[in-house]
Structure 1
Amino acid sequence: MGKVKKGLALVLANALYQTQPVLLSCNKDGLDMKAKLEQLDFDVLHYANTTRVATLEAIAEFIKLADLYSVLLVYYAGHGVQIDGKNYIVPIDCIYKPIKDVFISSSLVDVSTITNYMSMHEEKTNILIMDACRNSLSFLRSFGSTGLAEMTAGNGMIIAFATSPNTSALGSESPDGNGCYTKRLLEHIDHPNMKVEDMFKLVRKDVIKDTAGQQVPWENTSLNGNFYFCTMAQDEINEVIYQSIRNYHCAEMLINLSKRFGYTVSDVMRIYERQKSEKVGGIRIVDEKEFESYILKQILDLGFEFINYRWVYRKTPVLMGDFQHDYTKAL
């Protein structure tokens, strides 16, 4: 019998629009999200650059399989639009028509085709992520609206938007970069033992910082229980830290692990050194002060600096944490 998966995910990413501005980063956003969700043990249906018909077929395939899973996730990156308070996915073959009802029925996909199913299955954990609040659509003026409309999450559902209702989100100018929101989502989604609501708070904090407050991610939740994208025992976390630094012994790896696990950089190094000492041939430093001095030397050798009472790496502040002696004298 095969391993039971964490859940089912539908990843839709539209970049190569035929009559609307292309969104260079969305292809990469979709591919990276697919890879990340597969790492987190989801079965993933991935579709890129879909027409209206193909989008509806993708959603139908997702719903057909959804009954087999207790966790459902839909991620969309691409153009989105609100009309009369309802949100729509914009397929790549969207062609604007001045008659509103004709335009909606022939060129857009109502997000409710997804949320209606989720709302009827409150016993599941339902997650909808929309990185679709762009402001470059040629027909936006016809509807006098920007971004997407506020949506209320049904029972058992959480809805996450890249930015607040009626505002626009930032993408990347390069096909090799992620959009601002998805970039931070990819960084935090595998944070171990963190509730999904708290994970989205970290994403919001970073996006606000990245955009100087221009973009504020938003969620609406009615989840009935706690959900974690990643759960790990402490021994597993310690081993991941050890193997990661063993393979890439550099400051950047320590910083990445610090962000992923929510530890200070110095604690990441402590875990690595203690794990290394327990391997065959390892040497354990028993004296705590001697161990702290050794950790400090490793930190300095990797290029971290203590400047104006702040730890930095290449002029960027880092969350170093305290050492158990007056390390300023060693500098």
Structure 2
Amino acid sequence: MHRLSRILASLGVAAGLLASAVPAEAAKRVALVVGNNEYRNVPKLLKAVNDARTMGDTLRQLGFTVMVAENQNRLQFSETLLAFDKAIEPGDTAFFFYAGHGFEIAGQNYLLPTDVPAATEGQEELVRDSSILADRIVERLQNKKARTSILVFDACRNNPFERTGTRAVAGGGGLAPMVQLPEGVFSVFSAGPRQTALDRLSNDDANPNSVFTRTFAKELLQPGVNLVQVAQHTRRTVSELADTVRHKQVPVYFDQMVDDVFLSGTAKPGSDKPAPDKMASDTSVPNANARPADAPMKVAALPPVAPLKPPKEESLNAPIAMFSRHNGGWTVVFSIADPTLGISWRIGESGDFRETGFLDTLDSRTRKRMPNPSIELPSDAQAATIQVRYVDASGDMQGPFPIKFDPEAALVRDQRKILDMTANSWLSFRQFNGLLVYYTHLVSYRCAIREVKIGIDSAVPNQVLTMPPCDMRDPSAIPYNAALYQKLAPSTQFISVELTYRDGSVSEIKSFRTANRSNN
């Protein structure tokens, strides 16, 4: 399959995560997952695309805005990374996952796009120039001032350049350790140095994902487990599974985190941090600044406050909110300019206020636990006014401040933002008993669209694509009988696309070249 990109979105910060000590308005979760199967000049892979899709679905459940990119050639990979750059703001949590061929040259790791040439002995520079340097991705996340950067590589496979009758380019199919990482970066590799990662355990193994990804995705969703524990549990399970087929595969992680990062809820109040995995000392890089393993993790209560007062004169900026829709319902992220000691909320004008709780990190402005800026609402939540109040740094209660929640308007804004950010992914092409064009991505975010027009070998879109109706109960679900593709004439060179959004605005016309273009 040629390039097929999707974005599975859920914008904001889910309750209980974010290792961040920056203002709440800057804190959100963004992710890019890449899967490459369809290599042209080196052996193709079977499960990398499925691995990327599984990770996309998993991260979406954890509150990430997820960009899913498939079968990327060098240019497409670069454009995708640029779009990822633009989505990251200072203080964000950024997650990068790659499944595909990887290659190590002189201690540096390269991620291979689908059009990497079939290099031979002495052509190391050819591989370097046509691939993506993994260290550069770390640098880009640092330049964007991401508070937490998580990089996961399921790319430890055999040397893709080995061929009978030729001497392969010097390097390794496995990846080299990333030991000298900057602060705030956590990386995970599906196998140790010079080890290869299993796609399957046997010929009877029908699981669509690699042994590492199927395990890692499951561990990420375990509640109350921090990132280090996720990596340790994954390593133990993958190692044990590989042992059953007499294969050596021990995933490794490299930890330069200052904070404990919880992606699926914080540890239970009063519970101790579980002991490290028995293999932790062999392959992990310890973080000297991290809290000792035997130190109890306590969850602070909302500080006592004075009686309710009107907002102080200097508190001119009322909280604002960002709404995002996901499978389980709505995530609402409050942005508050003032340093806060606690946040509480309620729906409507009456009833008790509920506390949002606290993140497992300190706010550098208050030197106290940072209040959790997000709440969850059910998928069938009706239009309402959310009353928000907070405790300022002086201990005074500010608010309540009213925030309007309109589910339909919020959904349209959320999906429109995703479509604008992922315009290069609106269409994709595949050769299967002829040339096919897929518009799955547009169907996934149809609630923001009034009309889609396309032009086949025409710069002016003149045909209307029929979209299924928007289902507010499950807006991202695609009906089983929905048309997701159409067959094209073999000679088709490009298709133009124009969207009319629900608010009546019209997108710029985007042009997508088919697989018949000369550089593909």
The 3-state SS of whatever aligns with 2:168 is: helix
Distance 1:195 1:132 in 2: 24
Matched, 1:160 2:188: yes
Distance 1:72 1:3, change over 3 A: closer
Aligned equivalent of 2:215: 184
Distance 2:206 2:42 in 1: 17
Alignment of 1:258-297 (within 5 A): none
Which segment is superposed worse, 161-170 or 46-55? 161-170
Distance 1:191 1:73 in 2: 17
Give, as a single letter, the amino acid of the residue that structure 2 aligns with 1:178. N
Aligned equivalent of 1:81: 103
The 3-state SS of whatever aligns with 1:142 is: coil
CA deviation map 1:5-56 (0-9, x unaligned): 3500000000111121111111111111111111111000110000011111
Out of 119, 130, 134, the residue aligned to residue 153 of structure 2 is 130
Distance 2:81 2:39 in 1: 19
Cα pair 1:28 1:175 within 8 Å, conserved: no
The 3-state SS of whatever aligns with 1:93 is: coil
Distance 1:13 1:228, change over 3 A: same
Distance 1:94 1:59, change over 3 A: same
Distance 2:258 2:161 in 1: 40
Give, as a single letter, the amino acid of the residue that structure 2 aligns with 1:108. S
Distance 1:97 1:214, change over 3 A: closer
TM-score by length of 1: 0.65
Distance 1:206 1:18, change over 3 A: same
Alignment of 1:178-327 (within 5 A): 178-212=209-243, 214-231=248-265
Distance 2:267 2:240 in 1: 31
- Unaligned stretches of 5+ in structure 2? 1-9, 14-27, 269-520
Structure number with the higher helix fraction is 1
Alignment of 1:110-121 (within 5 A): 110-120=133-143
TM-score by length of 2: 0.42
**Hey, which bits of structure 1, 4+ residues long, moved more than 4 A?**
120-123, 173-176
**Alpha-carbon offset, residue 175 of structure 1:** 8.2
Structure number with the higher strand fraction is 2
CA deviation map 1:279-308 (0-9, x unaligned): xxxxxxxxxxxxxxxxxxxxxxxxxxxxxx
Cα pair 1:118 1:154 within 8 Å, conserved: no
**Alpha-carbon offset, residue 177 of structure 1:** 1.5
Aligned equivalent of 2:65: 43
Give, as a single letter, the amino acid of the residue that structure 2 aligns with 1:102. L
Matched, 1:149 2:171: no
Cα pair 1:28 1:178 within 8 Å, conserved: yes
Which segment is superposed worse, 33-42 or 140-149? 140-149
Alignment of 1:60-99 (within 5 A): 60-67=82-89, 70-98=92-120, 99=123
- Unaligned stretches of 5+ in structure 1? 235-331
Distance 1:123 1:34, change over 3 A: closer
**Alpha-carbon offset, residue 121 of structure 1:** 5.8
CA deviation map 1:148-177 (0-9, x unaligned): 011122210001000112221111378861
Distance 2:47 2:206 in 1: 5
Distance 1:232 1:116, change over 3 A: closer
Distance 1:132 1:97, change over 3 A: same
Distance 1:232 1:156, change over 3 A: closer
**Alpha-carbon offset, residue 97 of structure 1:** 3.5
Distance 2:139 2:267 in 1: 36
Cα pair 1:79 1:133 within 8 Å, conserved: yes
Cα pair 1:21 1:136 within 8 Å, conserved: no
**Alpha-carbon offset, residue 96 of structure 1:** 2.5
Distance 1:14 1:61 in 2: 18
Distance 2:48 2:171 in 1: 25
Distance 1:121 1:222, change over 3 A: farther
